[in-house]
Copies of this chain bind each other. A is one copy, B any other.
Amino acid sequence: MARQRLVVVGGVAAGMSAASRARRLDPDLEIVVFEATGYVSYGSCGLPYFIAGVVTEADDLIAITAERFRKERDIQVHTGHRVTGIDPAAGQLSVVELANGHERRVGFDRLVLATGGRPARPPIPGLDLPGVFGVRTVEDGLAIRGYLEERRPRRAVILGAGYIGLEMAEALVARGLEVTVLDLARQVLTTVDPDVAGRVQAELERHGVRVVLESPVEAVLGGDGAHGRAGSGGHGSTAGVRAVRAGGQSFPADLVLLGLGVRPQAELAEEAGLKLGASGAVAVTGRLETSQPGIYAAGDVAEVRHLVTGRPAYVPLGTTANKQGRVAGENAAGGDARFPGVVGTAVVKVFGLEVARTGLSEAQAKAEGFDAAGHAITHGVRAHYYPGPGPATVKLVAERGTGRLLGAQMVGEAGVAKRIDVVATALHAGWTVDRLAELDLSYAPPYSPVYDPILIAASETAKRL
């Protein structure tokens, strides 16, 4: 019997996890990875810290190099190779070597699609101007850092007040820039509710970031007063970005970053006839199999089951990508693993604040049809007599009638990032807030009050349902 070949399309978190897992389970499998960028196995989430200078070398963001995958795991990694078409029936794909444009066809017996996501690029004129960057790949990070060092921009405008937008605001303030964040929404960070977001906005403003909300971006303007062509991949004005026009105002900018969210790079899957979900990401089973038997999808290109709603969702995060990759790799190697799903846990550092969320926000829960109530408390994260950081706000969201816990949000100077995990765990368990209030959580004066803020929030929320 000929050696079976697994091809993995995309070599970042999900792709390399899949390849590694498959190798561990089947030493005989031929494993080939095609990655369009020049790097594999890197942490996109580290880019703001690389750009800020907290992480000094881009290489530090890479968990395992392509070279080591080849040598230590017998995985044939091809960077700078873009897969341009998949023919599931023939078990073949087309791949272009970007350096020279050479295209070839490669056969596969099994396939894992891990093409990831890309920064959303709405049809705004001028996004192709020099000085406008996404924050996604190692190349993006190097380009932004190079631009900061060579062009010394003074004023940055960040389009979008989501996770990456806020992390980049902090990074650019650390670099000495004047930073403006624009968003279409009425609040920053729409994955949390307005009451929690308000504290985040105050923190941004306290650090000199200008936050402009309900401000639709109309155009990015170049140095010659004109703007580039909308949606084109061309160069536009060579003079570079000069300003952003949004909500009728003009915001001077020497640097513009895209933080408008992540979209699945699902074109390849769609053209190959794989079914997409309502989110536009690839629909998958619990085994992460696509509508085409034997083809798996994982990471930011794929949907994921949300355990609170029980429905597919698009939650493009690094943790999920890694875990899905393992499951896809195991199944592609002949195993039978399942990806249990997510509860939507996330945390972000915004200057001196930790901001965390899990499950559904109050707004999301209502949009999903739950009769949801949210209640927030603010309480110290240590014993009242123990010196240290200020209080944290804990908001719980629960279903009226049943008391079922639906989600939580927390914000505070410390003691938030990992506390949210207790609620995430309770969501996995499908508990009520009453049950959450019964937990035997750790206590010592330097780390917690006698009643952990989560317990206080749980009993206060239970009273109000």
Contact = CB atoms under 8 A, between A and B. Distances in A.
Contacts of A444: 45, 346-349, 417
A348 B451 CA distance: 16
A358 interface: yes
B346 A442 contact: yes
A319 B450 contact: yes
A344 B443 CA distance: 11
Q: Secondary structure at chain A's binding surface: helix, strand, loop or mixed?
A: loop
B443 A385 contact: no
Interface stretch (A53-61, A69-77, A180-188): A53-61
Nearest to A63: B384
Interface in A388-427: 415, 417-422, 424-426
- Please list the 4 inter-chain residue pairs (A to B) with the smallest Cβ-Cβ separation, ordered nearest first: A417-B447, A347-B442, A60-B385, A425-B425
Interface in A287-341: 307, 317-320, 322, 340-341
Given A55-B386, A319-B443, A349-B446, 4 more contacts: A319-B451, A340-B438, A341-B440, A347-B442
A345 interface: yes
A310 to B, nearest CB: 15
B442 A424 contact: yes
A438 B428 contact: yes
Contacts of A55: 385-386
A98 interface: no
A450 B43 CA distance: 9
Contact of A445 (B43, B342, B343, B447): B43
A215 interface: no
A344 B418 contact: no
Given A343-B440, A424-B439, A438-B428, A445 B386 contact: no
A90 B418 CA distance: 52
Residues of A in contact with B, size category: 35 or more
B347 A443 contact: yes
A440 B344 contact: yes
A448 to B, nearest CB: 7
A173 interface: no
A46 B347 contact: no
Given A55-B386, A63-B384, A319 B440 contact: yes
Interface in A51-108: 54-55, 60-61, 63
A45 B426 contact: no
Contacts of A61: 385
Interface string A24-68: 000000000000000000010110010000110000110100000
Given A13-B450, A418-B418, A421-B421, A43 B442 contact: no
Contact of A421 (B46, B387, B422, B435): B422
A450 to B, nearest CB: 5
Contacts of A417: 442, 444, 446-448
A362 interface: no
* Most-contacted residue by chain B among A61, A349, A428, A435 (CB, 10 A): A428
Contacts of A349: 444, 446-447
A440 B424 contact: yes
A383 interface: yes
B420 A439 contact: no
Contacts of A63: 384
Contacts of A421: 419, 421-422, 439, 441-442, 452
18 contacts: A54-B386, A54-B387, A318-B443, A319-B451, A342-B440, A344-B440, A347-B443, A347-B447, A347-B448, A354-B447, A358-B442, A418-B419, A418-B447, A421-B439, A421-B441, A424-B440, A424-B441, A425-B429
